[in-house]
């Protein structure tokens, strides 16, 4: 297991290298000018000489390959540059916001996995029943629904019509301190919507997996031995039905990040994703480059996690074969 993890990390390093290189290459091919981004409107009135000096100071007169190398070497030393839109070092931005984003994603994912398992098992128990058709069609509709649209409707319903939950932010505007209770109440809506957006996929796969498992020999055998329906369903069908789903859990990280991006921006949740949108709107290149790299790393970790989970839960899978 440690060997698998180690090998995957060895593979991850070149992928991250290529991704950061690609980010610099795309920026170099685009009309984006770091000087104008740095100086803002002041660049409009500045004479050519000042701009050239600025260019030299910021090292942007060099080709993008050397700028990439410079960024990479200082990033490895912990210096990710300065975010122009948030007026903070990029490392500090990420450090502050990563916790909040992780909290949001973790809660949402947990809720999605638990609810999805329950709904999937309920639907798989009697294929073609009213409940099954209800769950399936609801899942397909939710899968097709844009998450930001769901988020907006949730704000309308729960914050505006019912007035039971806050519409956004991390804490109440009047509050000076960040208390756990406030964060919890502000977390309910964004995490709920993010969970709902991840739910359909999970429900459908659990339904499929458990449904298939219910038609297989171990289940028939268990039924023949006279085990209760409950034991058959939860002890046999669910266990083998969940296996294929487990491998996919880790590969859902990109979708989770995508969902979080949109949910955070609707609810003004001050996390990584909200910073990404700000960085993109203002073309804050150092922040964007770091966040893209971070997201890629998260995806790779997710993939590794999926493999490890699979090996742990399925005794037939050997780590040495992977």
Using CB under 8 A as the criterion, which residues of the chain lie in contact with other proteins when the complex forms? 15, 18-19, 22-23, 26-27, 30-32, 140-141, 143-146, 148-149, 152-153, 155-156, 160-161, 167, 204-205, 208, 212, 253-255, 257-258, 261-262, 265, 276-277, 279-281, 283, 285, 288, 291-292, 295-296, 299-300, 303
Q: Considering the complex, what minimum distance in angstroms separates the CB of residue 103 from other proteins?
A: 19
Considering beta carbons, is residue 22 or 235 the nearer one to other proteins? Answer: 22
Phi, psi of 318 (to 5 degrees): -105, 135
Owner of token pair 């740095």:
38
* Radius of gyration of the CA atoms of the chain, in A: 24
Closest CA to 266 of 186, 199, 185, 172: 186
Q: Considering the complex, what minimum distance in angstroms separates the CB of residue 277 from other proteins?
A: 5
| Contact partners, residue 289, CB within 8 Å, separation at least 6 | 20, 23, 24, 27, 71
3-state secondary structure of 20: helix
Q: Considering the complex, what minimum distance in angstroms separates the CB of residue 157 from other proteins?
A: 9
Considering beta carbons, is residue 127 or 235 the nearer one to other proteins? Answer: 127
Q: Considering the complex, what minimum distance in angstroms separates the CB of residue 280 from other proteins?
A: 4
Give dist(CA 122, CA 145) in Å, integer: 23
3-state secondary structure of 225: coil
Q: Considering the complex, what minimum distance in angstroms separates the CB of residue 24 from other proteins?
A: 10
Considering beta carbons, is residue 227 or 282 the nearer one to other proteins? Answer: 282
Considering beta carbons, is residue 103 or 145 the nearer one to other proteins? Answer: 145
Which residue stretches of 30-173 are H helix?
34-39, 42-45, 48-57, 64-76, 90-125, 130-144, 147-154
Give dist(CA 220, CA 240) in Å, integer: 13
Considering beta carbons, is residue 69 or 156 the nearer one to other proteins? Answer: 156
User: Taking a C-beta distance cutoff of 8 angstroms, is the pair 144, 137 a contact?
Assistant: no
Q: Considering the complex, what minimum distance in angstroms separates the CB of residue 162 from other proteins?
A: 12
Considering beta carbons, is residue 233 or 276 the nearer one to other proteins? Answer: 276
User: Taking a C-beta distance cutoff of 8 angstroms, is the pair 286, 27 a contact?
Assistant: no
Owner of token pair 């406030």:
182
Q: Considering the complex, what minimum distance in angstroms separates the CB of residue 263 from other proteins?
A: 11
Considering beta carbons, is residue 150 or 238 the nearer one to other proteins? Answer: 150
Closest CA to 81 of 279, 297, 306, 274: 279
């Amino acid at each position: 297991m440690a060997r698998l993890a180690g090998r995957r990390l060895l593979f991850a390093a070149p992928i991250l290298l290529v991704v950061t290189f690609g980010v610099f290459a795309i920026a170099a091919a685009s009309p984006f000018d770091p000087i104008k981004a740095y100086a803002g409107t002041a660049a409009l009135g500045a004479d050519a000489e000042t701009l050239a000096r600025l260019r030299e100071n910021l090292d942007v007169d060099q080709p993008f390959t050397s700028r990439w190398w410079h960024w990479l070497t200082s990033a490895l030393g912990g210096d990710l540059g300065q975010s122009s839109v948030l007026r903070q070092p990029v490392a500090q931005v990420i450090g502050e916001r990563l916790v909040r984003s992780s909290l949001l994603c973790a809660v949402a994912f947990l809720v999605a996995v638990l609810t999805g398992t329950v709904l999937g098992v309920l639907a798989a128990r009697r294929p073609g029943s009213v409940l099954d058709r209800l769950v399936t069609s609801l899942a397909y509709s939710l899968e097709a629904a844009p998450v930001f649209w769901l988020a907006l409707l949730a704000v309308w319903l729960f914050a505006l019509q019912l007035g039971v939950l806050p519409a956004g932010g991390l804490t109440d505007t009047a509050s000076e301190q960040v208390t756990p209770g406030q964060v919890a109440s502000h977390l309910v809506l964004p995490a709920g919507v993010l969970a709902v957006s991840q739910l359909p996929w999970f429900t459908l796969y659990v339904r499929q997996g458990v449904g298939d498992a219910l038609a297989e020999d171990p289940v028939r055998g268990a039924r023949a031995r006279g085990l209760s329906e409950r034991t058959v369903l939860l002890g046999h069908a669910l266990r083998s039905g969940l296996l294929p789903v487990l491998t996919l859990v880790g590969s859902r990280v990109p979708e989770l990040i995508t969902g979080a991006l949109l949910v955070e921006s609707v609810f003004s949740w001050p996390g990584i994703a909200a910073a990404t949108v700000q960085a993109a709107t203002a073309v804050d290149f150092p922040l964007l480059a770091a966040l893209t790299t971070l997201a890629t790393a998260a995806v790779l970790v997710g993939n590794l996690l999926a493999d490890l989970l699979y090996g742990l839960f399925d005794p037939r899978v050997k780590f040495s074969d992977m």
